[in-house]
Amino acid sequence: MQCLNGKPFLLGCPLHSRPASRVSHSRARISVRAAVAAPPLNTRTSEKIFTEAQDLLPGGVNSPVRAFKSVGGQPIVFDRVEGPYAYDVDGNKYIDYIGSWGPAIVGHAHEEVKAALHAQIEKGTSFGAPCEMENTLAKMVIARVPSVEMVRFVNSGTEACLSVLRLMRAYTGREKLLKFSGCYHGHADSFLVQAGSGVATLGLPDSPGVQKSSAAATLTAQYNNLDSVREVFEANRGEIAGVILEPVVGNSGYIAPTQEFLQGLRDITREEGALLCFDEVMTGFRIAHGCAQQYFGITPDLTTMGKVIGGGLPVGAYGGRRDIMEMVAPAGPMYQAGTLSGNPLAMVAGIKTLEILDRPGAYEGMTEKTKRLTDGLLQAGRDAGHEVYGGCISAMFGFFFHPGPVTNFEEAAMNDKAKFGRWHRGMLERGIYLAPSSFEAGFTSMAHSDEDIDKTIAAAREVMKEI
């Protein structure tokens, strides 16, 4: 574990998977509240429920970042979600820019998605046998995503990524994987690898329990730095099965790739006989109809998907070139299976969500609103005298308290995390629900209105002056 500004911090994976900080909730809470003169927010019921949860669930949650450890204060316990809004158990309403960490791109609890789910529930919730909806969603994915000729549905992004890694190894007969510091690909052993400083270091496990041998086969390079990639390939010629990356990073905060970087990865992997996998669990169907690969015009060999593709139900997927996908059992010898994979409820939610995203103007509308939001947040920061750096593509955005530029994790790690904590709390107390970490991107949806964006910018102008 590394220490940044005196706080325990893990390189190479986001807070979803980081061990809890040792700062107690009550101490963190006091420091954040003292720094921000915010209107009172009654969260008594949330606090009661979360206090009980801490006795029942490790850290009170089922996924670490939800615990608000890096921003201080207790998390908000939700009662219901609808459109762009979340309502907590104390009756507070928030404009939500997390969207269940990505899936809610058409808005929470969309009427048409709910209707499709109700109709399917009447017919049963799990078959464990083929159903036609698997074909329908597969055809939709294949028609939209340039690299995908065949697809396998699984139940989470983690499962998609660990399966695609096995597939890359099976297809190439090579063992090693190259990933980028700050990119998250789920919590399988091979991906929980510390990036270390500099480039091209051999991996050491990020978390206790990760087998040294799995971590050792994971090499790391620096995002947006092709020289670091070439160095790793030179030192491991003929041994690297594949390269995996977030084509737009959301797990070090929002970081855009350069076109040259993505093109360079495509060229180098071809020259070296390695496979290129875009992990589009976050960017898939969020950046464009055909995911980030369509937006940037770079076609990888393989793609992992999740979040949006399940329309709010647990789904992941991996797909790619037919000759590679035909290695997957039972078509081929690479074993991978799942009791609930292709589950009919998850399939209908995904189908309906992709149908809604096909409507004219869906991405144009989200792009326009997200740009206005991001410009408004950055302007509010600058007007209040802060150094801020950020950007957006389509319905994904983010900024750092950092003078910029931020092109990789190592630069992102220098952001002012204490200030981010005060910003987060100030916005929360004004009814704006942002990701509780400076290392997470923000998400908008088709449901966010111009009025929601205006309210958010107005709140930002107040908070920026106070922090």
Which residues are catalytically annotated?
184, 279, 307
Contact pattern from residue 151 through residue 180 relative to ligand PLP, giving x for each residue in contact according to CB under 6 A and a dash for the rest: -----xxx--x-------------------
- Per CB under 6 A, does 279 bind ligand PLP? yes
- Which among 121-129, 276-284, 400-408, 419-427 is the span making contact with ligand PLP, rule CB under 6 A? 276-284
Q: How far apart are CA 309 and CA 315, in angstroms?
A: 7
Of the candidates 177, 146, 182, 136, the one whose C-alpha atom is nearest the C-alpha of residue 302 is 146
Q: Which tokens hold the place of 143? A: 């028609």
- Per CB under 6 A, does 302 bind ligand PLP? no
- Per CB under 6 A, does 206 bind ligand PLP? no
- Per CB under 6 A, does 251 bind ligand PLP? yes
Q: How far is the CB of 275 from ligand PLP (least distance, A)?
A: 17
Phi-psi sector, 311: left (phi>0), alpha (psi -120 to 50), beta = left
- Per CB under 6 A, does 184 bind ligand PLP? yes
Measured between alpha carbons, how far is residue 203 from residues 1, 212, 372, 463 in Å? Answer: 13, 9, 40, 40
- Which among 143-151, 184-192, 326-334, 451-459 is the span making contact with ligand PLP, rule CB under 6 A? 184-192
- CA Rg, the chain, in Å? 21
- Which among 171-179, 183-191, 369-377, 424-432 is the span making contact with ligand PLP, rule CB under 6 A? 183-191
- Number of chain positions touching ligand PLP (CB under 6 A): 17
- Which among 117-125, 227-235, 245-253, 364-372 is the span making contact with ligand PLP, rule CB under 6 A? 245-253
Beta bridge partners of 393: 396
- Per CB under 6 A, does 189 bind ligand PLP? no
Measured between alpha carbons, how far is residue 236 from residues 180, 204, 219, 240, 294 in Å? Answer: 16, 17, 9, 7, 30
Q: Which is nearer to ligand PLP, 12 or 426 (CB)?
A: 12
What does the H/E/C string look like for 344-403? HHHHHHHHHHHHHHCCCCHHHHHHHHHHHHHHHHHHHHHHCCCCCEEEEECCEEEEECCC
Q: How far is the CB of 387 from ligand PLP (least distance, A)?
A: 27
Chain positions contacting ligand PLP, by CB under 6 A: 16, 101, 156-158, 161, 184-186, 246, 250-251, 279, 281-282, 306, 316
